[in-house]
């Protein structure tokens, strides 16, 4: 979270994480399209080397102010392919909330698990545990023929019982819900933290 006291602005960072081709970029594009022009920034490709990293920012009207600060949200995607480890670490750094976009295809079962392990390890390297990072799971590609039952995906990927959404990002189904859910988790965590610091 970045606080700009003079501007009374709080910037939250939300990262879409997951294996290659699970639909992270599709989510961000669909989300961007559905947001009003007045409140959203441009959809930007972060750098030329990793074409698959996208970014945009957005002022969610519904959030209004937190502790007197206007709230801006920066959305990022990581490149899922295995050789972009360094980029994934850089993008995940300082995330206030994470959406893990899992691919429902049975052929991507191992890729989902490896990606989640990679996320947990990267967070650990930054001194953070998944438990303390607000996160949600998106079971994407529910439309594919070989989709794994949700209960199985939950068992494999979400033993901690974090919030979940089913999605078909390519049809923009579940995309807004996912975003709302992760923001809810992040805001709840901030409010808990604020209450704690007021008591201290
Ligand atoms: N059938 C189906 N295809 C999807 C869905 N969501 C995304 N796709 C397709 O999956 C492919 C990969 O989507 P991307 O959004 O580029 O995946 P990504 O997670 O950003 O991939 P990386 O950047 O490589 O990590 C594209 O062809 C999408 O159209 C979905 O819900 N169902
Ligand atoms: Mg991508």
Q: Which of 169, 171, 172, 178 to mutate to test the pocket of ligand 1 (most atoms within 8 A of CB)?
A: 169
- State the pLDDT at residue 36: 82
Q: Which atom of ligand 1 is nearest to the CA of 19?
A: 25
Which is the closest atom of ligand 1 to the Cα of 53?
23
Place of tokens 């709302």: 180
State if residue 89 touches ligand 1 by the CB under 6 angstroms criterion: no
pLDDT tens digit sequence for 36-51? 888 888 887 765 555 5
pLDDT tens for residues 171-184? 999 999 999 999 99
Helices 85-92 and 109-125 pack at an angle, to 10 degrees, of 60
CA distances to 19, 23, 44 from 170, rounded to whole Å, are 16, 8, 19
Number of CB atoms found within 10 A of residue 95's CB:
26
Write down the mean pLDDT value for the chain: 91
Q: Which residues contact 154 (CB under 8 A, 6 or more apart)?
A: 137, 164
pLDDT digits (tens, 9 = 90+) for 54-80: 677 777 766 778 888 988 999 999 988
Q: Confirm if 100 and 135 have CB atoms less than 8 A apart.
A: yes
Kindly give the number of the ligand 1 atom that is closest to the alpha carbon of 101.
19
Please name which ligand lies nearest the alpha carbon of 169. Answer: 1
Looking only at the bridges linking them, the beta strands covering 97-103 and 135-140 are: parallel
- DSSP 3-state of 72: strand
Q: 105 or 194: which carries more pLDDT confidence?
A: 105
Question: For a pLDDT cut of 70, what percent of the chain falls above it?
Answer: 94
Per-residue pLDDT, averaged over 132-139, amounts to 97
**Atom nearest to 173 CA in ligand 1:** 31
| Band of pLDDT at residue 129, cut at 50, 70 and 90 | very high
Cα(42) to ligand 1 centroid in Å equals 21
Establish whether residue 22 lines the binding site of ligand 1, counting it when its CB lies within 6 angstroms of any ligand atom.
Answer: yes
Q: Give the pLDDT score at 49.
A: 58
Which residues make Cβ contacts (< 8 Å) with residue 141, sequence separation at least 6? 22, 23, 103, 104, 105, 147, 167, 168, 169, 170
Which domains are present in the chain?
A: 2-199 (3.40.50.300)
């Amino acid at each position: 979270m970045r606080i700009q006291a003079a501007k009374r602005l709080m910037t939250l960072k939300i990262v879409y994480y997951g294996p290659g081709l699970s639909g992270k970029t599709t989510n961000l594009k669909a989300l961007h399209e559905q947001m009003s022009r007045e409140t959203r920034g441009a959809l930007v490709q972060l750098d030329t080397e990793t074409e698959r990293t996208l970014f945009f920012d957005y002022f969610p009207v519904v959030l209004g102010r937190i502790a007197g600060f206007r709230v801006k949200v920066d959305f990022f995607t990581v490149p899922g392919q295995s050789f972009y480890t360094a980029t994934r670490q850089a993008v995940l750094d300082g995330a206030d909330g994470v959406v893990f976009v899992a691919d429902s295809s049975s052929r991507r079962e191992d890729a989902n698990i490896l990606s989640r392990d990679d996320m947990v390890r990267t967070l650990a390297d930054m001194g953070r545990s998944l438990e303390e990072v607000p996160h949600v799971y998106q079971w994407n590609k529910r439309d594919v023929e070989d989709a794994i039952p949700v209960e199985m995906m939950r068992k494999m990927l979400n033993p901690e019982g974090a919030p979940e959404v089913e999605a078909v990002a390519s049809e923009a189904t579940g995309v807004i819900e996912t975003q709302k859910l992760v923001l809810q988790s992040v805001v709840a965590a901030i409010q808990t933290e604020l209450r704690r610091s007021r008591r201290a």
